[in-house]
């Protein structure tokens, strides 16, 4: 399928490489780039032959985030709509229990769809961050499981520069990666964090010279693609849920996860390979 603003490639090992390809805008996340990216992430999630995802950007940026040139139009449209709209009143449910309505997110906007699509993938995902990762561009990198940064990478929670707060989940994600104080500074200041500092903080798993970024990322992605990807998906959910659980709640879920993986071909293959002193040939199920 041809694309206008992304490049989609698949390696023989089942690594899907998605390159955001609009260098004139530093890969700004407008149309058609964002719908194309979301469509390919959906295809990756559904296709059992695709085992690991890598997202990167062309040119000198990973992504500059939302297209700021459209912000003024959005402000004008919102002001016009507010003037024309009739006076709003609470719904019956809001009158009955506003806390319930808020808690359930009824009628609420849920931010960019790409964030939960990446966060909830059952297979590993990588962001190979070259140059600027600003605003929502940074949010996409945070939503991937693993971040490999080139030395020229610049992670920037740039929303505050436009008087905005992050709506891409990064206020939830960042503290888990780098701690509250560092997350607050990034989101208060809007200052960029380079590749080496990102690695020091724990924002990036690895930092490498720019000309080694894709080689390193693909080496890591291929290693995982050759592994038991189904079990990796179980690990991901266990770790995600562990943030909301104590140990007594976590252990039964972990036990169920191990029971599920005991029934897989990959478990049988791993045991057989160990006994036969050979490399396992995992299939991801």
76: pLDDT confidence band, cut at 50, 70 and 90?
low
Give the integer Cα–Cα distance in Å for 214 and 211.
8
6-68+113-225 and 229-275: identical CATH topology: no
The encoded tokens of residue 209 equal 């010279």
Identify the three-state secondary structure at position 246.
coil
Asked if 204 and 149 touch (Cβ cutoff 8 Å), the reply is yes
For the stretch 184-239, pLDDT in tens is 999 999 999 999 999 999 999 999 999 999 999 999 999 999 999 999 999 999 99
Question: Yes or no: is domain 6-68+113-225 CATH 3.90.1720.10?
Answer: no
For the stretch 241-282, pLDDT in tens is 999 999 999 999 999 999 999 999 999 999 999 999 999 999
Question: Tokens 């995600």 belong to which residue?
Answer: 240
With 0.85 as the threshold, say if the pTM is over it. yes
Give the integer Cα–Cα distance in Å for 182 and 188.
10
**Does the pLDDT at position 100 exceed 70?**
no
Q: How far is CA 102 from CA 82, 91, 97, 105, in A?
A: 22, 12, 9, 5
2: pLDDT confidence band, cut at 50, 70 and 90?
confident
Give the pLDDT confidence score for residue 89 in this predicted structure.
74
The domain limits of the chain are: 6-68+113-225, 72-103, 229-275
Number of H helices, E strands in the chain: 13, 10
pLDDT, average across residues 108-112: 76
Question: Yes or no: is domain 229-275 CATH 1.10.10?
Answer: no
């Amino acid at each position: 399928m041809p694309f206008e603003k992304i490049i989609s490639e698949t390696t023989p090992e089942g690594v899907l490489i998605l390159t955001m390809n609009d260098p004139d805008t530093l890969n700004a996340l407008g149309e058609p780039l964002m719908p194309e990216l979301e469509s390919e992430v959906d295809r990756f999630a559904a296709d059992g032959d695709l085992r690991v995802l890598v997202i990167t950007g062309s040119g000198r940026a990973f992504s500059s985030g939302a297209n700021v040139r459209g912000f003024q139009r959005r402000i004008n449209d919102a002001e016009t709509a507010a003037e024309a709209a009739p006076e709003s009143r609470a719904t019956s449910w809001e009158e009955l229990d506003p806390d319930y309505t808020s808690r359930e997110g009824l009628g609420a906007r849920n931010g960019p769809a790409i964030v939960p699509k990446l966060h909830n993938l059952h297979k590993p995902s990588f962001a190979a961050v070259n140059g600027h990762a600003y605003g929502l561009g940074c949010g996409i990198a945070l939503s991937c499981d693993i971040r490999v940064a080139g030395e020229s990478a610049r992670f920037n929670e740039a929303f505050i520069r436009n008087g905005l707060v992050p709506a891409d989940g990064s206020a939830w994600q960042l503290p888990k990666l780098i701690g509250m104080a560092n997350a607050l500074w990034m989101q208060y200041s809007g200052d960029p964090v380079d590749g080496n500092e990102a690695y020091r903080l724990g924002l990036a798993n690895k930092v490498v010279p720019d000309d080694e970024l894709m080689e390193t990322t693909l080496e890591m992605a291929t290693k995982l693609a050759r592994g038991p990807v189904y079990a990796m998906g179980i690990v991901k959910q266990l770790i995600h849920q562990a943030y909301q659980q104590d140990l007594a709640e976590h252990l039964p879920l972990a036990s169920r996860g191990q029971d599920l993986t005991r029934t897989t071909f990959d478990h049988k293959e791993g045991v057989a390979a160990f006994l036969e002193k050979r490399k396992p040939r995992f299939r991801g199920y």
